[in-house]
Amino acid sequence: MLTSLTDLCFSPIQVTETKSLPKSMNETNHSRVTEFVLLGLSSSRELQPFLFLIFSLFYLAILLGNFLIILTVTSDSRLHNPMYFLLANLSFIDVYVCVASFATPKMIADFLVERKTISFDACLAQIFFVHLFTGSEMVLLVSMAYDRCVAVCKPLHYMMIMSCRVCVVLVLISWSVGFIHTTSQLAFTVNLPFCGPNKVDSFFCDLPLVTKLACTDTDVVSLLIVADSGFLSLSSFLLLVVSYTARSTLTAHITVVTLFFGPCIFIYVWPFSSYSVDKVLAVFYTIFTPILNPVIYTLRNKEVKAAMSKLKSRYLKPGQVSVVVRNALS
């Protein structure tokens, strides 16, 4: 009996070994991507200064051209009509596509740094603003086409149909559609788990590229994104083409519409596009279209040219310029 108790007391205690989870699994369960790395337009260091100069000039042209349109329309009473009211709103959207979305300014700033990063929250903000303004612009372009159709088909009833109230409603509808569109797109992304890859092969947080970095199957999410963006862009484009082709004098407008909608449709609808092609096409609706809109829609218009000449003579008289310069130097 004593022997058995002795054996029991001094027998080796068997310890059950608990296997810990691999370090990588623990990190994956508790880590979250806090920033994304943007690969930019080009990886060539030699091209960076050249691209910085070119896109800085483009950015300056966008701001000056669209701000000039807004100032001209608001300051000249002869341009206070539905067509120019919608054009001024288009210029307002084009300015904010470049400013509020952070896409263009950040792309220009990233040409000067080697490591191009963006925080997770700023990435979501880019997605929100890009889809808000592009969605609003699509609907606003349709409203502008409707305005021209009414002017051509119902000239005697034009001012009655396109009243101030109708114009305000059209603008509010465009912003509402843009907001609904971007919130639905963001809803697909904000709850995705991002715990691994963080390199985005573009110069901004493009939604299809960001969703592919999630640590889960994104086939359904990608399908919903394509359905949402594809339906809005394709339906708006078809409405514009039908309305503009019925008026052969508006071929220049069709060119701008094609440059704006073509890349959007290709990126979000065409299933076989490559990332390198997508980021080049994204330049069209973030850079080139905001530049072309003032040229095509207003600067070729005689009324706008006359209003700009009047604006120039009012604020840029030689005597006034010298006074302003003298006051600035004193």
Q: What is the pLDDT of residues 20-47, one digit of tens each?
A: 444 334 444 446 788 899 888 877 888 8
Between residues 243 and 254, the one the model is more confident about: 243
The answer to whether 107 and 40 have CB atoms below 8 angstroms apart is: yes
Q: How many CB atoms lie within 10 A of CB 48?
A: 18
Between residues 116 and 243, the one the model is more confident about: 116
Residue 156 domain-assigned (yes or no)? yes
CA distance 168 to 173: 9
pTM: 0.78
- The residues facing 199 across adjacent strands are 37
The answer to whether 166 and 92 have CB atoms below 8 angstroms apart is: no
Residue 329 domain-assigned (yes or no)? no
Residue 149 domain-assigned (yes or no)? yes
**Which pair of tokens denotes residue 294?**
């003032």
Pick from 33-42, 236-245, 270-279: least confident:
270-279
Between residues 275 and 310, the one the model is more confident about: 310
Residue 327 domain-assigned (yes or no)? no
Residue 256 domain-assigned (yes or no)? yes
Flag whether pLDDT at 321 surpasses 50. no
CA-angle at 37, arms to 31 and 39, nearest 5°: 150
Sheet holding 35-38, edge to edge: 117-119, 35-38, 199-200
CA distance 200 to 271: 18
pLDDT band at 166 (very low <50, low <70, confident <90, very high): very high
Q: How many CB atoms lie within 10 A of CB 256?
A: 18
Question: Any residues with CB less than 8 A from the CB of 223 and at least 6 apart, and which?
Answer: none
Output the domain CATH number for residue 188: 1.20.1070.10
Q: How far is CA 289 from CA 36, 65, 94, 223, 270, in A?
A: 27, 12, 8, 27, 21
Residues 183-191, mean pLDDT to the nearest whole number: 85
**Residues 208, 240, 307, 95: what is their CA dihedral angle, to the nearest 10 degrees?**
-10
Range of the domain at 168: 36-306
Q: How far is CA 43 from CA 40, 54, 127, 210, 277, in A?
A: 7, 16, 23, 19, 15
**How much is the pLDDT for 24?**
39
Structural domain total, the chain:
1
CA distance 206 to 210: 6
- Where does residue 5 rank: exposed (0-12), middle (13-18), buried (19+ CB within 10 A)? exposed
Residue 5 domain-assigned (yes or no)? no
**How much is the pLDDT for 328?**
43
Residue 24 domain-assigned (yes or no)? no
pLDDT band at 6 (very low <50, low <70, confident <90, very high): very low
The answer to whether 304 and 310 have CB atoms below 8 angstroms apart is: no
- The length of the chain, given as a count of residues: 330
**How much is the pLDDT for 14?**
43
Query: Over the chain, what is the mean pLDDT?
Result: 78
CA distance 174 to 141: 9
Per residue in 42-91, pLDDT tens?
778 888 889 899 999 988 888 888 888 888 888 888 888 998 899 899 98
Residue 325 domain-assigned (yes or no)? no
Q: How many CB atoms lie within 10 A of CB 12?
A: 5
